[in-house]
């Protein structure tokens, strides 16, 4: 965690959160391999904060269905560790060609995506061989979500009330 703190300033986190919250278009969230469950987690919680969040499937056969309408006012949050799957690189390149903003979370400063992203957030991921920890990435995602709440104003409160109403109406949870 300390290594990541040395690599990412609070100002960078706040800047990324501002872009993720205040972009006028859709917020697309993408991750492949171990980044996919982290992307899904971030997407799920980002829905509390903003209505137009879209989770991109790491399945290349359905990506075109989601990417067709990408526009300049959209934003991409992409999560990738160690190796970067070709579909992730292609997604980022597509967003870049659409002049969209890209926020990239990775553990490799030499990633090909770092060159085309607007904001790079470099995390540490240590551990034995293929089992490097993703805990720091999860902590960063939590920090981004918390900062996004700061930028969302009253909108998040309205959305939380709506969610609670739906949870109650649909009997989603038992207490």
In a domain, 107, yes or no: yes
Q: What is the pLDDT of residues 81-103, one digit of tens each?
A: 877 678 888 899 999 999 999 99
Q: What are the start-end ranges of the H helices in 50-134? A: 60-67, 86-97
Is residue 175 in a domain? no
In a domain, 95, yes or no: yes
pLDDT band for position 18 (cuts 50, 70, 90): very high
- Whether 47 is in a domain gets the answer yes
- Where is 18: in which H helix or E strand? helix 10-22
121, 105 Cβ separation under 8 angstroms: yes
Task: Tally the domains of the chain.
Answer: 1
Considering the domain boundaries, does residue 112 fall inside one?
Answer: yes
Average pLDDT on 18-37 reads 92
Q: Give the distance, in angstroms, between the CA of residue 58 and the centroid of all CA atoms in the same chain.
A: 13
- Reading the block at residue 128, the tokens are 């034995």
Look at residue 78 and give its three-state secondary structure: strand
Residues 6+ apart with CB under 8 A from 68: none
Residue 113 placed within a domain: yes
CA distance linking residue 109 with residue 126, whole number of Å: 15
Residue 148 is part of a domain; what is its CATH number? Answer: 3.40.50.10490
Angle between helices 135-152 and 35-49 (to 10 degrees): 20
Quote the domain boundaries for residue 127: 2-170
pTM of the model: 0.89
- The tokens describing 64, both together, are 């075109």
- pLDDT tens-digit series, residues 96-149: 999 999 999 998 888 888 899 999 998 877 766 667 778 889 999 999 999 999
């Amino acid at each position: 965690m300390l290594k990541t703190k040395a690599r990412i300033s609070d100002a960078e986190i706040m800047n990324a959160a501002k872009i993720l919250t205040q972009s006028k278009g859709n917020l697309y969230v993408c991750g492949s391999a171990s980044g996919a469950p982290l992307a899904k987690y971030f997407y799920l919680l980002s829905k509390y904060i903003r209505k137009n969040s879209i989770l991109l499937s790491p399945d290349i056969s359905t990506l075109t269905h989601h990417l067709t309408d990408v526009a300049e006012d959209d934003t991409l949050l992409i999560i990738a560790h160690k190796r970067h799957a070709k579909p992730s690189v292609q997604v980022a390149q597509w967003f870049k060609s659409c002049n969209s903003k890209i926020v990239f979370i990775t553990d490799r400063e030499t990633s090909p995506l770092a060159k085309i992203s607007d904001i790079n957030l470099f995390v540490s991921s240590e551990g034995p061989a293929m089992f490097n920890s993703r805990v720091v990435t999860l902590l960063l995602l939590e920090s981004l979500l918390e900062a996004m709440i700061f930028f969302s104003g009253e909108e998040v409160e309205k959305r939380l009330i709506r969610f609670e109403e739906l949870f109650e109406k649909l009997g989603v949870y038992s207490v």
